[in-house]
Amino acid sequence: MAEAARVLIHNATTAEMASRLRETLPQVEVLECDTYEGLPAMLSQHRPNVVYSVRFDGGAPFPKDALLGPDGPQWIANGGAGTDHFGHWDTARVTMTNAAGVAADMIAEYVMGGFLHFTLDAPGLLADKAQRVWAGRIVRPLKGQTLMVVGLGSTGRAVAARAKAFGMHVIGTRRRPQQMENVDEVGGAEDFHAMLPRADFIAVSTPLTTETRGLLGEREFELMKPGVILADVSRGCVIDGTALLDALRSGKVAAAALDVFETEPLPADSPFWTQANVLVSPHCSAVTEEWERASFEIFLRNLGHWLRGEPLFNVVDPDLGYRAIPKGVTPARRSDRPRPSPGTFSDRCSPARTAPCQCKCRNARHAEGIR
């Protein structure tokens, strides 16, 4: 490559990842940073080409300005799926990838577990156990019920597969509707409100974007079937918390399993803590002992592409908040870095381009939009 490979690992714990990177790709210079506060200085001093970054401190502001600023890398590999904590970025200056799907199966299990928590009346059973009371209770089946999945990405599809195993009828929405395995009916944004009254259960797994912020508010809860059970594994601002509380208190929403909130950590005085028909979890539906390792392995595969001058996968479109840029994207090159040789960019990039692009890489097929 024309540029030395300098990779910064930014996580609460870095030693295992750094060791794995050195073992797998010994030609790479490895840097480590385990705080938010120390990141700007690391970037300024070492100018890494690539940063693998995990949002590991939910109670502190994420240092996005440092990562997206003039000392930031040309490629940011986000360790999770969601990129809303970065805000918007200029694809001409930096390329963002994510680990979409790395925790989809675990999150889907959380969703189904949340539903079962309420349909089997786990709160009532635990209360009876604490009082040593033997009392009859009614449980509610999932079989034959309609589940609506809001956001049929990797997580939404994993939820649908598990719902089908329970014998549920699955409907859902996505930006570009198309037939999908385990989903009986797929709609677009224009079908969203018409689908809501049909659902007995709703799983919210859409990314947070300008279009999905406040997607479920007072109007949407009014449209829902009385007694619906909700699970939210998206981002806190997708659902209007005040409107949700009103719906929970009125019984319009019978219960909710909530892994995300508008403010995290959830303040001690939040009414969600004392709402009996709410299961509160601290944004942990994806957190297993293996998820960081799995995420880093995705990064290592992508880094291999980068070192060979091949297109990256899982490239995120900042306007959509998820991977939507066509395959064949090579990381953005900062103007203050050495220019790559003509062969650095893969000929598989954007075959529609037939003239040299503006970055003067002299490759006639450089990917659209990341000059």
10, 283, 333, 366: the active-site residue: 283
169 classed as catalytic: no
**Rounded Cα distance, 183 and 178, in Å:** 10
Alpha helices in 262-335 (DSSP H): 291-307
**Cis amide leading into 197 (omega within 30):** no
β-strands 322-323, 316-317 pairing: antiparallel
Handedness of CA 339, 343, 349, 352 (dihedral sign): positive
283 classed as catalytic: yes
Closest CA to 43 of 16, 15, 6: 6
**Rounded Cα distance, 67 and 175, in Å:** 29
235, 323, 365, 366: the active-site residue: 235
88, 264, 293, 301: the active-site residue: 264
**Rounded Cα distance, 54 and 77, in Å:** 9
Please answer whether residues 47 and 24 qualify as being in contact, where contact means their C-beta atoms are separated by less than 8 angstroms: no
Tokens representing residue 1 in the block: 């490559």
235 classed as catalytic: yes
Show which residues are catalytic: 235, 264, 283
